[in-house]
Structure 1
């Protein structure tokens, strides 16, 4: 009977890592979701909450990394379990960065709240934000559930985000010539779109790490 105890302890510890990773992922997705609501409906309280959550995500990433290192030291996992724990450390780093990118969006959203933005431009920016939110969910749960097919989809999703960014950049540039009084505020739309594009890149990186974790092969670019 005693022989079962070490295995039970191992399962409990690795499940604890998964639980902490899932909590962090949900926090990241909620923070990004709140940040993008500010684009059409600015709320100072929500903006402040996004910034504070980004700091909590930073701490959560540190705590998760420490838990993973302790797990490796105590349990000495091998093969797939070791790959999952090591990959969790890398994924937590991506999620931490996503939290700060969401805070950047929140900081800039106040600068566009009173700016007259063409409907098509704002619609594309919001669509891009929603699409990136979808990618975040796909990337994180592909990793957590070890879903190889979903992880592979993210590369094509990123192409869509790149196309949206190019479209937004072109529209903003055209609008700058038509509305020269609001050039500085309009440029902030480019920065927001750029932050969204970087978040999408992080989601792709999580997908790529999932592919490597499951196949031991370098993902195709």
Structure 2
């Protein structure tokens, strides 16, 4: 009976890591969801919540990384468990950056709340935001479920986001020519699109790491 105790402890500790990674991932998804609601209807209280949450996620990812390092030192995992712990450390850094990008979106949203721009521009920004939200959820749960097929989908998803960004760039440039008095405010649409694009890139990086974790084969795109 005594011989079972170390294995039980190992399972409990790795499950704690998984649970914490899922909790932080959900926090990032929710923070991004709140940030993009500000594009349609600015709410100062919600914006502050997103900014505050980014700092909380930063602290939580630091604690997750520390938990992983302690696990490595105490349990000395091998094979798949070792890859999961090492990958969790890497993915925590992506989640932290995603949270701060959501905070950047919240900060920029106040500058566009009273600006009149063509409907297509606002529709494209919102579509891009919703699409990136889908990518973020897909990336995090593909990692937690070790789903390689879902992870592979993220590359095509990112191509779609890049196409939308190109369209937004063209529209913002045109809008600035047509409304020179509000150039400083209009350019924030471009900043927001850039933040969304970078979140999409981070989602792809999470997917790539998941593929590597499961297959031990480097994906076509380089890992960050």
Alignment of 1:133-172 (within 5 A): 133-172=133-172
TM-superposed deviation, 1:155: 0.4
Question: 1:90 aligns to what?
Answer: 90
Question: 1:214 aligns to what?
Answer: 214
> Unaligned 5+ residue runs, structure 2?
none
Question: 2:176 aligns to what?
Answer: 176
Question: 1:36 aligns to what?
Answer: 36
Question: 1:132 aligns to what?
Answer: 132
> Unaligned 5+ residue runs, structure 1?
none
Distance 1:91 1:172 in 2: 33
TM-superposed deviation, 1:56: 0.2
1:54 aligns with 2:22: no
TM-superposed deviation, 1:117: 1.9
SS in 2 for 1:111: coil
Task: Map Cα deviations across residues 125-169 of structure 1 (whole Å, 9 max, x no partner).
Answer: 000000000000000000000000000000000000000000000
TM-superposed deviation, 1:77: 0.1
- Aligned-pair RMSD on alpha carbons? 0.5
1:102 aligns with 2:102: yes
TM-score (norm 1): 0.99
Distance 1:60 1:158 in 2: 27
Task: Map Cα deviations across residues 83-128 of structure 1 (whole Å, 9 max, x no partner).
Answer: 0000000000000000000000000000000111211100000000
May I ask how many residue pairs the two structures share in their alignment?
221
TM-score (norm 2): 0.98
Distance 1:57 1:132 in 2: 19
Alignment of 1:9-24 (within 5 A): 9-24=9-24
Task: Map Cα deviations across residues 30-67 of structure 1 (whole Å, 9 max, x no partner).
Answer: 00000000011000000000000000000001000000
